[in-house]
Amino acid sequence: MSFTFSILATDGRARLGRIGTPHGSFDTPAFMAVGTRGSIKGVTPDQARNLDCQCILGNTYHLMLRPGPETVRQLGGLQTFSGWNGPMLTDSGGFQVFSLSDLREFDGPENGGGNEGGGVTFRSHIDGAVVRLTPRESMRIQHLLGADIIMAFDDCPPADCPPERLAAALERTHRWAEICKQAHEEFTNDPSRLMGHSPFTIHDSLFYPQALFAIVQGGTDLAARARSAAFLRGLDFPGYALGGLAVGEGHERMIDTIDVTAPLLPHEKPRYLMGVGYAKDILEAVKRGIDMFDCVLPTRNGRNGLAFTYQGTRRLRNAGYALDNAPLESDCDCYCCRHFSRGYLRHLFSVEEMLGPTLLSIHNIRFFQRWMSDIRAAIKNQTLSTLTAPPDELLGV
Ligand SMILES: [Zn+2]
């Protein structure tokens, strides 16, 4: 089965849909849990499925450094390697190169580096090794990893960068999108090109069709966003992402940017808002026509003892929970809330038992999936305008 997207219902600009991939289908609007290095931290694939995770994200940057894409391919591709065996998406590596690593230097036509599109050289955040990533290499890595949806390699500048940097990033992102599309087609038609001089062999049967999404950049400059959307539309990708948001520009400016940019993308193709976000961000973006989200919030906050609930957030390390016999959230159907008290959770965090982060990650992932399910139901029932997001504020003791 190749990539499909069906819109089943709409409510205003919001869409209820379904994405089909070679590894199964998932409902949209979708929230993808992040399996950075091939695992959702602290949660098994079985648990993730029971929490209603339907599509998982893996990070190309982390997987290319360890264990390396050839190793993942030899072990069956990312879905088999990770034991998830369902729909997966990999990002391009761009965001982590620009946010995690040191010594980022561009080469390419504008720096006298020839006209192959150029790339970026950086130091690995693990051992300082110098690595060069290009759009073609990002495609090669993502083909070896084998996720169902892969992302074009983009230049993701910080929110507060000067206009010249933003303009250069846009230019580079567009040039790289063309190269990614070409390389994607080449690797799809002839997987033997993926291995280069590697000693590994490839079994053709391991390869599934992959859908390449483009990433619209432009910061919060609405004219730049419009130019980017128009250029990338012209290349006809099966899906489009909005990148470079939720990087410090604030909720209002982010929503304003989505409001203007989403309608410029093809109606019949999925729209993915990368790295977002909180429940209210997701609701406002869905109202403006976004179909896919991913964020590390549920697991990162879970590991740190912070739980999202429909009443607000709770910090489970707080001493005030020591004798609290209530479940974390009484209306939640997750394993954590059905079996354990706030007092027990507080104990796990205070003695640093690994079950604490696991239970809160389970609850937080379930919180986001319940919220997506509420959003999908509201679109179906045409009641999205009356839906209010759970509050962010810290509750209780
Ligand atoms: Zn729960």
Instruction: Please list, in sequence order, all residues whose beta carbon lies within 8 angstroms of the beta carbon of residue 30, skipping any fewer than 6 positions away.
Output: 19, 54, 55, 291, 292, 293, 372
pLDDT of 316: 98
Number of domains within the chain = 2
Whether 82 and 202 map to the same domain: the answer is: yes
Span of 71-80, 144-153, 192-201 with lowest mean pLDDT = 192-201
Where in the sequence numbering do the catalytic residues fall?
91, 294
Give yes or no for a contact between 21 and 238, defined as CB atoms under 8 angstroms apart.
Answer: no
Whole-number mean pLDDT of the chain? 94
Peptide bond into 118 cis (omega under 30): no
Alpha carbon of 330 to ligand 1 centroid (Å): 8
Cα distance between residue 107 and residue 117, in whole Å: 8
Tokens coding 210: 């992959």
Alpha carbon of 154 to ligand 1 centroid (Å): 36
The torsion angle over the Cα atoms of residues 199, 61, 151 and 221, rounded to 10 degrees, is: -150
Sign of CA dihedral 93, 97, 98, 99: positive
* Helix (H) and strand (E) counts in the chain: 14, 16
Whether 47 and 71 map to the same domain: the answer is: yes
Closest-CA residue to 259 (of 277, 271, 270): 271
Give yes or no for a contact between 242 and 285, defined as CB atoms under 8 angstroms apart.
Answer: no
pLDDT of 167: 94
- Is the pTM for the entire model greater than 0.85? yes
Alpha carbon of 314 to ligand 1 centroid (Å): 12
Instruction: Please list, in sequence order, all residues whose beta carbon lies within 8 angstroms of the beta carbon of residue 301, skipping any fewer than 6 positions away.
Output: 307, 308, 313, 360, 364
Mean pLDDT of 177-198: 90
**Is residue 204's pLDDT more than 60?**
no
Alpha carbon of 367 to ligand 1 centroid (Å): 7
Whether 244 and 348 map to the same domain: the answer is: no
Mean pLDDT of 171-175: 96
Whether 248 and 364 map to the same domain: the answer is: no
Whether 172 and 286 map to the same domain: the answer is: yes
- Cα–chain center distance at 266: 20
12 pLDDT band, cuts 50/70/90, is very high
| Tens digit of each residue's pLDDT (9 = 90 or more) over 216-248 | 999 999 999 999 999 999 999 999 999 999 988
Domain that holds residue 355: 302-386
Q: Is residue 116 assigned to a domain? A: no
**Is residue 199's pLDDT more than 90?**
no
Tokens coding 215: 């990433």
Whether 339 and 311 map to the same domain: the answer is: yes
pLDDT of 21: 98
Alpha carbon of 25 to ligand 1 centroid (Å): 25
**Gyration radius of the chain's alpha carbons:** 21
Burial 242-255 (b: 16+ CB within 10 A, else e): bbbbbbebeeeebb
Closest-CA residue to 96 (of 120, 117, 75, 115): 120
Cα distance between residue 259 and residue 266, in whole Å: 14
Alpha carbon of 357 to ligand 1 centroid (Å): 13
Of 243, 271, 295, at which residue does a domain stop?
295
Whether 282 and 306 map to the same domain: the answer is: no
Whether 90 and 138 map to the same domain: the answer is: yes
Of 258, 280, 295, at which residue does a domain stop?
295
Alpha carbon of 51 to ligand 1 centroid (Å): 10
Give yes or no for a contact between 308 and 277, defined as CB atoms under 8 angstroms apart.
Answer: no
| Tens digit of each residue's pLDDT (9 = 90 or more) over 64-113 | 999 999 999 999 999 999 999 999 999 999 888 888 878 889 998 877 66
Q: Is residue 396 assigned to a domain? A: no
Alpha carbon of 78 to ligand 1 centroid (Å): 28
Whether 64 and 207 map to the same domain: the answer is: yes
Of 235, 270, 295, at which residue does a domain stop?
295
